[in-house]
Copies of this chain bind each other. A is one copy, B any other.
């Protein structure tokens, strides 16, 4: 049985090596699918180094992530029906507002079709239209792992840039700030993120992580998000650039991959409703380490999804 697995470098590249499922976005049918992995190759919201439009391709090229999560003791791709349904279609690669509309529409379709979506960006601005789809009926809580709060206001006449999706999501009523925790925050832009504090988000800075320890952070995170629906947003720049150089707005002094995995693995049993991994820019990723970390974090979130309340009675075993 083991002997028949295809070599990691062979076959068509897909996210986490799950099967590709070709879909018709005009009439999206996801019947039988539990979880949809989907690419969002859009980076028009970037304020500095661009390139994360190649993020989905980069993650698809990574070998050997999954199938087994030995800490969470799950093999999600074997226990649920998971597929890579390709990338969200865009009407224009030149217009950020139009792109956000396209993302929102596609996300709504996936939700309506009944699969839990996990997205791969693209820049972090994509989380706004995604949340508008996922939180349309009630605001959701969020585990947000990132170097930046991403709660600044409109900038240069644009409210869709990657520095502000979560302020806008709160204003749009799709994100519950009091059930939101932001972990790994650092850098020189703290003065732009007053909204996080004013709206009631919990912020854990990167420089606090050693002192607090991962178990305490997990405990805080679980307390913040509680029993309600939770979205998990993982910005790869939460990791220190030593671990993830391939991103557009790196900040030194960040999380290690071990810390980030430790935090994610502590979140088993929540009511996960979706998630994303964003800001992988492979042009700056000379070793593929960043895409590799992104793929593994996607696998951790997928494991959380499999262990979430929605699927607690599921399983193909």
Query: Interface residues, chain A, CB within 8 Å of chain B?
Result: 2-3, 6-14, 20, 39, 41, 43-45, 47-51, 53-54, 56-57, 60-61, 63-71, 75, 84, 86-87, 89-96, 98, 152-158, 160-161, 186-192, 205-207, 209-210, 214, 240-243, 245-246, 249-250, 252-254, 256-258, 261-262, 265, 283-284, 286-289, 292-293, 296, 299
Contacts and interface: CB of A to CB of B under 8 A. Distances in A.
A50 B48 contact: no
B242 A252 contact: no
Q: Which of A210, A242, A257 has the most CB of B within 10 A?
A: A242
A258 B296 contact: no
B257 A253 contact: yes
Contacts of A252: 243, 257-258, 261, 289, 292-293, 296
Contacts of A11: 86-87
B243 A257 contact: no
A292 B214 CA distance: 27
Q: Which of A20, A95, A252 gathers the greatest number of chain B CB atoms within 10 Å? A: A252
Given A8-B47, A49-B283, A68 B241 contact: no
A47 B7 contact: yes
